[in-house]
Chains A and B, each alone.
Chain A
Amino acid sequence: MDLHTAFLRARRGIREDANLYVVASSSLVVAFLCLGSAVLAMTNLSAVSERWSRSGRMTIYLRDGVSDADAQRLRETLAGLPEVESAVALSAADARAQFARDADLGGELAGLSADAFPASVELSLRLGTSAERTNEIASRVVRVSGVEGVETYRAFFERLESLVAAGQTGAAVAALLVLVCVLAVVGNTIRLAVAGRRDEIEVLKLCGATDGYVRGPFLVEGGLQGVLAAFVALALLGAAFFALRGPLDGTVAALTGVRAAFLSPSAALGIVLGGGVAGVLASAFSLRRYLAI
């Protein structure tokens, strides 16, 4: 049987069992929403992790009262180290202005005093600088007079990495659960459809339909269910994501250094096509079990 005929007959089948398919697809949409959310969270956590792993940053906070000249001398000294790509001295006012700009909070910070943020020297380390060498520089710098403390972001990065790893496991579990859900929902839907179309199937067989001709529309129906449910779930997730991103994006970007992003087209396509494949497989399993021809 050609695909066109299978689609035509599947369309007729879906039309006849419309209520059944709406209910089943709704369950699948919820399942795909869970999967999409997990993948979305994973994607953004990975981006943050990637951003921080590449950054090689170090912030040296200066004590109150350290003069700009002392800060500049410290900056020049550190800039001379071979591992340092760039060094920037920020006064308390500069730090406050930078935060206000990154966080889109200019208006809210108007009442804050100029020395609310400490003066600092921001170092960018060269790519490939080891954690040991970073710690060694930090331990030497922290002994310099006028230095309040040194932030290497290593601890944060390690926590982020373990969070990403947990997110990946969570996404994998979600994918597995969704697969099970698709198999169960599509499988049962097809089983009910087969039961409801016993007469039709018998007529087809008596008229000389091959097994493939009989099975074709059911496989198409299973695949369409998976594809449509995944597509609707991603559309809902996308709508929610873009609705929330507007007010929160600046803050998130300031805190993490990364702007929140929706699923890439390839990831979205993968989920939709994966839904279709899972639907076809579920239908095939169900037919093998319940359609004796």
Chain B
Amino acid sequence: MSQRGPRSQPQSAAQEPAGTRPFSFFRAGNRVDAAGREKPILVLEDVYKYFDRDRPVLRGANLTIDRGEFVFVTGPSGSGKSTVLQLIYRKLMVDDGRILFCGRDIARLTGESIPFLRRNLGIVFQDFKVVPHWTVAENVAVPLEILAMPQKVVRARVAEALERVGLAGRGNDRTGVLSGGEQQRVAVARAIVTEPALVLADEPTGNLDPQLALDILTLFEEINASGITVVFATHDHSLLEARPHRLVVIDEGRVFEARSGGEAWAGSGAAVRPAALAEPERPPVRGLAARVDLDPAALVPLHRVPG
């Protein structure tokens, strides 16, 4: 589990009254009460997910992410990176275990409460998921319109978000004519326009060239610097090597801590020896974790977090 505390939070917006639905009490990461700020923002506890009864995608996955962290999630294709993210934003349901978001078990949310969970998340995808025939501003404004914010506020916050992602003045452009990198910036602007508590990025650089990928990563780091927790799923080694963020590896259905944020990736040294990593009750590490240059001592299975 990470020991790092929350980063400094951005200027707080007006406190909103608690609603009757789960998560309606909670807007962005900077607006929870003091007790909420102490809790990890996200906890996975012994999470199991099956698509095939005999081959679970996740087998007792455990992970804790503190408020304000930037976490890389990596692993080979099909290891379950996207599944973890989809479980968090409740596109999928866990088959066993718990996922606590701000201390609340989102696995128990009813269908009608899921939208209220998602309003606290910003989600960015590899394929951008922008509406190409809408303007940039229309795409970015979607989360604010869902929150029924006044048009004046919507315009101001969209302009602010576009400025943050380097698209100032491009609001009236049709999104479909933008380059891939610019479309991804639109998606990022949409993800952060409500100042969510947590941004989930599912291979956001997968369709971009290396330089654009680094630019987008930098953008996420800037977002993280403003106090938003970022979970960045990628299998792009160059990104993992370029930035010293906390790294979590998903492999064989389990989640492993590869390094904490303070450690340097490049200096980790020896190749992984799966046999040396295995705990008695854990399977040996294979897949990506076995292929990369990784200090075996840093690859520690994450344990269940006390409730």
Query: Which residues in A have some Cβ–Cβ distance to B below 8 Å?
Result: 1-2, 5, 16, 199-200, 202-211, 213
Determine if B129 is an interface residue (Cβ-Cβ < 8 Å): yes
Q: How far is the CB of A67 from chain B (nearest CB, A)?
A: 89
Q: How far is the CB of A196 from chain B (nearest CB, A)?
A: 10
Taking a contact as CB atoms under 8 Å apart, the answer to whether A206 and B129 are in contact is yes
The chain A residue sitting closest to B193, CB to CB, is A207
Determine if B50 is an interface residue (Cβ-Cβ < 8 Å): no
Q: Which residues of the other chain, B, contact A210 by a CB distance below 8 angstroms?
A: 112, 115
List residues of B (26-51) whose CB comes within 8 Å of A's CBs.
none
Determine if B143 is an interface residue (Cβ-Cβ < 8 Å): yes
Q: How far is the CB of A49 from chain B (nearest CB, A)?
A: 54
A206 and B148 in contact, given A199-B131, A200-B131 (Cβ under 8 angstroms): no
A71–B129 Cα gap in the complex (Å)? 94
Taking a contact as CB atoms under 8 Å apart, the answer to whether B146 and A208 are in contact is yes
Comparing B3-11, B116-124, B226-234, B298-306, the segment that makes contact with chain A is: B116-124
Q: How far is the CB of B90 from chain A (nearest CB, A)?
A: 11
Taking a contact as CB atoms under 8 Å apart, the answer to whether A207 and B148 are in contact is no
Determine if B81 is an interface residue (Cβ-Cβ < 8 Å): no
Taking a contact as CB atoms under 8 Å apart, the answer to whether A5 and B119 are in contact is no
Q: How far is the CB of B249 from chain A (nearest CB, A)?
A: 26
Q: How far is the CB of A175 from chain B (nearest CB, A)?
A: 37
List residues of B (86-135) whose CB comes within 8 Å of A's CBs.
89, 112, 115-121, 123, 129-134
Determine if B67 is an interface residue (Cβ-Cβ < 8 Å): no
Taking a contact as CB atoms under 8 Å apart, the answer to whether A208 and B116 are in contact is yes
Determine if B246 is an interface residue (Cβ-Cβ < 8 Å): no
Query: Which residues in B have some Cβ–Cβ distance to A below 8 Å?
Result: 89, 112, 115-121, 123, 129-134, 139, 142-143, 145-148, 190
A4–B71 Cα gap in the complex (Å)? 41
Taking a contact as CB atoms closer than 8 A, the residue among A2, A206, A211, A213 that contacts B123 in the complex is A206
The chain A residue sitting closest to B127, CB to CB, is A199
Taking a contact as CB atoms closer than 8 A, the residue among A200, A206, A211 that contacts B118 in the complex is A206
Give the A-B contact count at a CB cut-off of 8 A: 47
Taking a contact as CB atoms under 8 Å apart, the answer to whether A204 and B129 are in contact is no
Taking a contact as CB atoms under 8 Å apart, the answer to whether B118 and A208 are in contact is yes
A207 and B142 in contact, given A1-B148, A2-B148, A5-B148 (Cβ under 8 angstroms): yes
Chain A binding surface SS class: helix
Q: How far is the CB of A215 from chain B (nearest CB, A)?
A: 13
A206–B119 Cα gap in the complex (Å)? 8
A207 and B118 in contact, given A5-B148, A199-B129 (Cβ under 8 angstroms): yes
Q: Which residues of the other chain, B, contact A204 by a CB distance below 8 angstroms?
A: 142, 146
Taking a contact as CB atoms under 8 Å apart, the answer to whether A208 and B148 are in contact is no
A211 and B112 in contact, given A2-B148, A5-B145, A206-B123 (Cβ under 8 angstroms): yes
Taking a contact as CB atoms under 8 Å apart, the answer to whether B112 and A203 are in contact is no
Taking a contact as CB atoms under 8 Å apart, the answer to whether A207 and B112 are in contact is no
A213 and B146 in contact, given A199-B129, A199-B131, A208-B119 (Cβ under 8 angstroms): yes
Q: How far is the CB of B212 from chain A (nearest CB, A)?
A: 22
9 of the cross-chain contacts (CB-CB < 8 Å) are A1-B148, A2-B148, A200-B131, A203-B142, A206-B118, A207-B142, A208-B115, A208-B119, A210-B115
A199–B125 Cα gap in the complex (Å)? 13
Taking a contact as CB atoms under 8 Å apart, the answer to whether B148 and A16 are in contact is no
A102–B123 Cα gap in the complex (Å)? 79
A209–B143 Cα gap in the complex (Å)? 8
A153–B131 Cα gap in the complex (Å)? 71
Q: Which residues of the other chain, B, contact A16 by a CB distance below 8 angstroms?
A: 133
- Additional pairs, 16, CB under 8 Å, beyond known A203-B131, A208-B143, A213-B146: A1-B148, A16-B133, A199-B132, A203-B142, A204-B146, A206-B89, A206-B118, A207-B142, A207-B146, A207-B190, A208-B115, A208-B116, A209-B115, A209-B146, A210-B112, A210-B115
A211–B148 Cα gap in the complex (Å)? 15
Q: Which residues of the other chain, B, contact A205 by a CB distance below 8 angstroms?
A: 115, 118
Q: Which residues of the other chain, A, contact B143 by a CB distance below 8 angstroms?
A: 207-208
A209–B133 Cα gap in the complex (Å)? 20
Q: How far is the CB of A220 from chain B (nearest CB, A)?
A: 15
Q: Which residues of the other chain, B, contact A2 by a CB distance below 8 angstroms?
A: 148
The chain B residue sitting closest to A293, CB to CB, is B111
A207–B194 Cα gap in the complex (Å)? 10
Q: Which of A2, A199, A203 has the most CB of B within 10 A?
A: A203
A268–B135 Cα gap in the complex (Å)? 41
Q: Which residues of the other chain, A, contact B89 by a CB distance below 8 angstroms?
A: 206
The chain B residue sitting closest to A2, CB to CB, is B148
Taking a contact as CB atoms under 8 Å apart, the answer to whether A203 and B146 are in contact is no
A5–B123 Cα gap in the complex (Å)? 23
A16–B132 Cα gap in the complex (Å)? 12
The chain A residue sitting closest to B129, CB to CB, is A203
The chain B residue sitting closest to A204, CB to CB, is B142
A268–B282 Cα gap in the complex (Å)? 75
Q: Which residues of the other chain, A, contact B130 by a CB distance below 8 angstroms?
A: 203
A206–B129 Cα gap in the complex (Å)? 10
Q: Which residues of the other chain, B, contact A203 by a CB distance below 8 angstroms?
A: 129-131, 139, 142
Q: How far is the CB of A226 from chain B (nearest CB, A)?
A: 26
